[in-house]
Amino acid sequence: MDNYVTGAAIKSLREAKRLTQEELAERIHVSAKAVSKWETGKGFPDISLLEPLAKALDVSVIALLSGENIRNRNRAFNMLKSVFYVCPACGNVICATGEAVISCCGIVLPPLTHEPTDESHQIRMEFVEDEIYVSMDHPMTKVHYISFFAAVSDQGVQMVKLYPEGSAEARFKRSRVGILWACCNRHGLYRLTPPRTGNLPPMRNGKECAK
């Protein structure tokens, strides 16, 4: 029952909708006493009620099971606001155009938030003709490695998945790239904003390379 809907989740979502137990009960055709039992942990809604219960609370079934009412606020689908999720069990990387309820391997995944860049997580970049070459001086052991690089433009997301004992480097098409991301499996997500397009010299960390 650990992954089933909890009474606390039902109560929280009901109160967020400003519904009484009686009003919620009426919407899903059960008694107010049944709703009260669910919220006090004295019973669980039948599985057949999950969909109508989620609809009454104006959330998805997954959101109901997670207990969080998550809304995608990126309705304009601005790709530069894309959100990344990584499964700690299998390493699956999922990209969404906005915050969502994402589940993998039975785990509800939190969105990655970027960390301040430090000396151990400096993203290096060079413009090579019509490509951006990205690399990092970072361990690539089985327990500590860069999980992926991604280049995001207003048109889409390019991603290169990396693996332990490989190289921390990737190449991306240069066109319109606005954000470069690097994900360390231990320390999180790091970002670099490339200079605007044009006839630019080779760059590293946003600074012109010495000739």
Residue range 15-39: mean pLDDT, rounded: 93
Say what the pLDDT of residue 6 is.
83
Phi/psi of residue 104, each to 5°? Answer: -150, 135
Measured CA to CA in angstroms, residue 208 lies from 101, 127, 135 at distances of: 41, 10, 16
Sequence-ordered list of residues with C-beta below 8 angstroms from that of 15, at least 6 positions apart, any chain: none
Say what the pLDDT of residue 71 is.
60
54-84: pLDDT as tens digits: 999 988 887 787 766 556 565 556 888 899 9
In percent, how much of the chain has pLDDT > 90?
Answer: 52
Residue whose structure tokens are 């190289």? 167
Please determine, for residue 38, whether its predicted confidence score (pLDDT) is greater than 60: yes
CA–CA distance, 45 with 43 (Å, rounded to integer): 7
Return the number of other C-beta atoms located less than 10 Å from residue 150's C-beta: 24
CA–CA distance, 79 with 157 (Å, rounded to integer): 7
| Closest to 138 (Cα-Cα) out of 153, 114, 119 | 119
Say what the pLDDT of residue 104 is.
85
How is the chain split among helix, strand and coil, in percent rounded to 5? 25, 30, 50
Which H helix or E strand runs over 161? strand 157-161
Say what the pLDDT of residue 67 is.
67
3-state secondary structure (DSSP) of residue 32 = helix
Which of 16-30, 68-82, 93-107, 168-182 shows the lowest per-residue confidence on average (mean pLDDT)?
A: 68-82
Say what the pLDDT of residue 107 is.
77
Q: Which residue did the predictor score with more confidence, 166 or 106?
A: 166
Say what the pLDDT of residue 76 is.
59
Measured CA to CA in angstroms, residue 10 lies from 31, 156, 191, 196 at distances of: 15, 37, 37, 48
3-state secondary structure (DSSP) of residue 147 = strand
